Structure 1
Amino acid sequence: MRTVTLIQGDGIGPEIIDSVKEIFKAAKVPIQWEEENAGQTTYEASGELIPQSLVDSINANKVALKGPITTPVKGGFRSINVQLRQMFDLYQNLRPCKSTPGVNSRFDNVDLVLFRENTEGLYSGLEIYDARLEMADSIARITKEGSVRIIKAAFEYARRNGRKKVTLVHKANILKHIGKIFLDAGMEVAEDYPGIAVDDKIIDNMCMQLVIKPEQFDVVVTTNLFGDILSDLGAGLVGGLGLVSGANIGDEIAIFEAVHGSAPDIAGKNMANPTAIIRSALLLLNYLELNDYHDAINTALQATLANKDECTADLGGSAGTSEFTQNIIKKLK
């Protein structure tokens, strides 16, 4: 039995996390949950945005599943997601984007995996604000070490999963120094993987190519801000954020999460689509090498998504969160 830290989050977080718990229980997955939380709800209760008990739990268990946590716009606290990634050095943000049979989307032939560097770039937190001048500077810090390790992670994934090509995404034509560091690191790493093709795309061209011919891409790796943008673009190609999984992975610790927001406007109304968090939990099962459980749940989920009547309203169905969950459970074998 493996213990996994469980972070409900807020908004629709508790509802969609409950969906995972019910499905895992029905599938008899050998996992026990250690429940913690973070964010505004936790702060109001304990005065801590990220409680020490949560930090201790993640350090002990090495694996966590996290629901969405609201991040205030403009003022308020800094993103809990970013803080957790930096706290545990979760430098790999993994985002598969694959077309789902039965789900309406612009394309039906997308099958790409995005690797986003998770701890550097414009999200490093290196910001200076001059109130007198009403001016701010934000520093995009890129290191050779950080670039090498995320690019190596992308190539390792490609090799393990039979992927044929890795695309490096950058802005080296304008951002000369950080672009050169990233591109040079990519070509250096590629030499160790002669069976995998490598190419590169400038970020603006990459966005255009994704909405014209996304099937040309296999594994994509890029820096933090570009990856943040591309990951949502990729989700849009396959039906939206409610359908895609996400993982934040380091050398020792991994946190799997729903990549969409907390949707407070529908919280508690049994309307939320739990597919994204279910798929993130499936990534967790693969990470823990519980592949038989992964396959059984994934088959049941795919069969449910293929039947629009059994899906939530955002997918064209009439099922609530709990009904959608039961539809999956009924198909478990």
Structure 2
Amino acid sequence: MTTIAVLPGDGIGPEVTDAALPIIAAAGLDWTLEFGDVGWSCWQTEGNPVPERTWDLIDRTDGCLLAAITSKPLREAEAELPVELRGTGVRFVSPVIQLRQRLGLYANLRPVTDYRADTFAFEVVRENTEGLYAGFDYHGLDGELWDLVSNHPNAAASGPADTSVSLRLQTRVGIDRLLRFAFERAVVGGHSLVTLADKPNVLRQSSNFLRGRLETIAADYPDIDFEIANVDAVALWMVKSPGRFGVVVAENMFGDILSDLGAGVMGGLGLASSANIGDGGCYFEPVHGSAPGMAGAGRANPMAMILTIAQLAEHLGEDTAASRIRTAVSNVIRAGTTVTYDLGGSASTSIAAKAIIEELS
């Protein structure tokens, strides 16, 4: 029996979760659901947004659905700690970052599908663990870091105390497993092209290293074409000609930007699902975040959560159920009579979800 950890989280998370979960039974998925705690309320009461009991739940289940979590800046986080924990060095670390690091989830997978007219369907694969988001971000420089940048005229004029620098980390291990994941996705999805989005005309050394690893990995997939393209050009093509892509793969920051652009191309974050996958773990989440200003209003689009369930089903080998769910979502979107405000309708969260369940039935 398949057991799924469900973490409703914060903001609109609980309401989109409640609306979406009935799709599991309607699609004929024999899953047992176990609910856990995560997010801002855990931080406010326990000083830990991912309690150990939640890690235990994740460790003993077959997959994880995370609905939404709230993160706030340093001062606000400190102010909302339990009084007895303030000033003790307890630090808020986003549950998303904790999950990716602790479970080794190096690949973020974002489907970009035209549910209105079926004119494109591609995937963005984003690296999760290194790149410009690896955490090598410094302000106030000294030693070798200052020596590295001091010849830049702006740095020389500002001085080390008023200069910042971020480093883009790229390793053979991180690059190779990401690129291999992208080519495997192309095989599974029947795509004929893998596009590496980078900036080789500016980031010459790191991009050249990346290019070499791409050529090495691509040699193992002779039936799939590959290219390396400037990330800004890829952004333009995604808007003007999304049908040209199969799998787009990029380092952390570039992938972050392109995956949200893909959500806009397909109709908005209300349709955007995602998976975070490693060699031994995974979790799945809609991309829209917790949207605290909308919490409790019943206006949030449940389709991203429903499509996330479909993505999890596919990951677990339930391809037929996943396809049926996506077809039901597409039919409701095309009908246009029971969609939420972001898709031009006036349906509530629950009504939109029920329409998909009825279509599925």
The answer to whether the Cα contact below 8 Å between 1:8 and 1:17 also exists between their aligned partners in 2 is: yes
**Is 2:120 the counterpart of 1:92?**
no
1:42 Cα offset (Å): 1.2
Gaps of 5+ in 1: 103-107
Looking at structure 1, the residues matched to 74 and 238 of structure 2 have their Cα atoms a distance apart, in angstroms, of 30
Deviation at 1:25, TM superposition (A): 3.2
Q: 1:62: Cα distance to partner?
A: 4.3
Question: In the alignment, which of 112, 120, 128 is matched to residue 118 of structure 1?
Answer: 128
- Name the aligned partner's letter for residue 25 of structure 2: K
Q: 3-state SS of the aligned residue for 1:128? A: strand
Distance (whole Å) between structure 1 residues aligned to residue 345 and residue 236 of structure 2:
32
Alpha-carbon distance in 1 for matches of 2:356, 2:102 = 35
1:74 CA drift (Å):
6.6
Whether contact under 8 Å (2:302, 2:349) holds in the other structure is yes
Give the conservation status (yes or no) of the 8 Å contact 1:110–1:215: yes
Residues matched between the structures, number:
328
Q: Which moved more, 1:109-118 or 1:202-211?
A: 202-211
Deviation at 1:258, TM superposition (A): 0.8
Check 1:304–1:43 CA distance in 2 against 1; reply closer, same or farther (3 A cut). same
Residues of 1 paired with 2:304 and 2:247: CA distance?
20
Q: Aligned partners of 1:28, 1:161: CA distance in 2, in Å?
A: 23
1:249-268 correspondence runs (5 A): 249-268=277-296
Worse-matched range after superposition: 124-133 or 277-286: 124-133
The amino acid that maps onto 1:253 is G
How far the C-alpha of 1:301 sits from its partner, in A, is: 2.1
Secondary structure of the structure 2 residue equivalent to 1:125: coil
Q: Does residue 47 of structure 2 align to residue 47 of structure 1?
A: yes
Q: In the alignment, what sits opposite 1:81?
A: 96
2: CA distance, partners of 1:28 / 1:193? 35
Matches within 5 A, 1:211-250: 211-250=239-278
Task: Provide Cα deviations, 1:72-101, integer angstroms capped at 9, x if missing partner.
Answer: 257543432122111211011101101112
Greater shift in the superposed pair: 14-23 or 143-152: 14-23
**Which residue does 1:290 correspond to in 2?**
318
**Match in the other structure for 1:176:** 204
- Equivalent of residue 187 in structure 2, options 159, 163, 168: 159
Matches of 1:229 and 1:73 in 2, distance apart?
21
Task: Please report how far the alpha carbon of residue 215 of structure 1 lies from its aligned counterpart in structure 2 after TM superposition.
Answer: 1.7
1:309 and 1:316 in contact (8 A); partners too:
no
* Equivalent position to 1:305, from 310, 323, 333: 333
Asked whether the 8 Å contact 1:247–1:254 carries over to 2, the reply is yes
Question: Using the alignment, how far apart are the partners of 1:39 and 1:113 within structure 2?
Answer: 28
Which amino acid is 1:84 matched to?
A: L
Alpha-carbon offset, residue 28 of structure 1 = 4.0
Deviation of residue 291 (structure 1)? 2.3
Taking the aligned partners of 1:208 and 1:113, their CA distance within structure 2 comes to: 16
Q: Deviations over 1:91-128 (max 9, x none)?
A: 111011011127xxxxx623211111111112212233
- Kept in 2, the 8 Å contact 1:143–1:181? The answer is no
| CA distance 1:331–1:212, change in 2 (3 Å) | closer
CA distance in 2, matches of 1:96, 1:67: 17
Task: Decide whether the 8 Å contact of 1:95 with 1:244 is kept in 2.
Answer: yes
RMSD over aligned Cα, in angstroms?
1.9
The 3 A distance-change label for structure 1 pair 264 and 199 is same
The aligned counterpart of 1:13 is 13
**Cα pair 1:120 1:141 within 8 Å, conserved:** yes
Equivalence for 2:87: none
Could you tell me how far 1:8 is from its partner in structure 2?
0.7
Give the Å deviation of 1:43: 1.1
In structure 2, runs of 5+ residues without a counterpart are 78-91, 142-159
Match of 1:59 in 2: 59
Local SS of the residue matching 1:309: coil
Matched-pair contact (CA < 8 Å) for 1:16–1:272: yes
What is the alpha-carbon distance in structure 2 between the residues aligned to residue 302 and residue 310 of structure 1? 12
**Residue 15 of structure 1 aligns to which amino acid in structure 2?**
E
Report the Cα distance in structure 1 between the residues aligned to 2:323 and 2:242, rounded to whole angstroms. 26
TM-score normalized by structure 2?
0.86
TM-score in terms of structure 1 length: 0.93
Residue in structure 2 matched with residue 105 of structure 1 by the alignment: none
Structure 1 CA distance for aligned equivalents of residues 320 and 265 of structure 2? 29
Secondary structure of the 1:9 match is: coil
Counterparts of 2:329 and 2:316, CA distance in 1: 20
Distance 2:264 2:229 in 1: 20
Question: What is the letter of the counterpart of residue 49 of structure 2?
Answer: L
Letter in 2 for 1:123: Y
Q: Percent identical across equivalent pairs? A: 38
CA displacement at 1:50 relative to structure 2: 1.4
Deviation track 1:195-222 (CA, whole Å, cap 9, x = no partner) reads 0001110112222222222221111111
Report the Cα distance in structure 2 between the residues aligned to 1:40 and 1:138, rounded to whole angstroms: 28
